Amino acid sequence: MRGLSWWIETADRILPYLNSSQKKLLKSSLREQFLFSNKEEWERLPKGPSHCDLFRDNVLFTGTLENPIISGIIDFYFAGYDKWLFDIAVCVNDWCIVQETGEIIPELFFSLIKSYEKIRPFTYEERKFWPVMLRAAALRFWLSRLYDFFLPRSSKILKPHNPSHFEKILISRTSIQFPPIP
């Protein structure tokens, strides 16, 4: 639903609203994702049912602050059949970061990755393309938030999120070294 073709179409619509550095970031990020999606290894990345929007605010908890228990997952609006690595990248970009900067918190990152690998180990291709997929997840949500901010849909319940949050995350994934999948 909001894959590469949507990204390209949306970018064309929001470019007039961006400053020169944002335009450069958007164009270079889209170019990277386009080239990545045309690689043979892209097709070999494992895929299946995916939430594609598994942010903290889409998970419900019971228990206590010291011992939280996941009791439900909501907001399946963008769920579909996608690369599992994208789903994990979306989670890392929300659950494992310093909110103000977008930088990855290594302890949270390694804990999430190790827990995931107890269920399904990452493939060679997933490890290889991890940095690109982290940028893909950041780009997707930056574009989505830019779109909702500059071209809002009529809705009484839709409140646009600040696009600068995912711009920071994308910049962080583009310019700063971050932990590879161990």
Looking at this protein, which amino acid is placed at residue 111? S
pLDDT for 177: 67
Structural domain that includes position 115: 4-175
Is 61 domain-assigned? yes
Is 182 domain-assigned? no
Cα separation, 47 vs 43, whole angstroms: 9
Q: How many domains does the chain have?
A: 1
Looking at this protein, which amino acid is placed at residue 39? K
In DSSP terms, 63 is beta-bridged to 68
pLDDT for 156: 60
CA distances from 131 to 51, 59, 94, 98, 148 (A): 20, 25, 15, 18, 26
101's tokens? 């900067």
pLDDT for 56: 84
For the chain, residues with pLDDT lower than 70 are 1, 155-158, 176-179, 182
CA distances from 14 to 53, 73, 122, 151, 165 (A): 22, 31, 35, 8, 17
pLDDT for 178: 63
Is 180 domain-assigned? no
36's tokens? 């990545």
pLDDT for 11: 97
Is 91 domain-assigned? yes
- Domain CATH number, residue 52: 3.90.1200.10
Cα separation, 8 vs 72, whole angstroms: 33
Cα separation, 21 vs 9, whole angstroms: 20
Is 143 domain-assigned? yes
Cα separation, 57 vs 19, whole angstroms: 30
Judge if pTM exceeds 0.85. Answer: yes
> pLDDT of 2-39, one tens digit each?
888 999 999 999 999 999 999 999 999 999 999 999 99
> pLDDT of 123-134, one tens digit each?
999 999 999 999
pLDDT for 94: 96
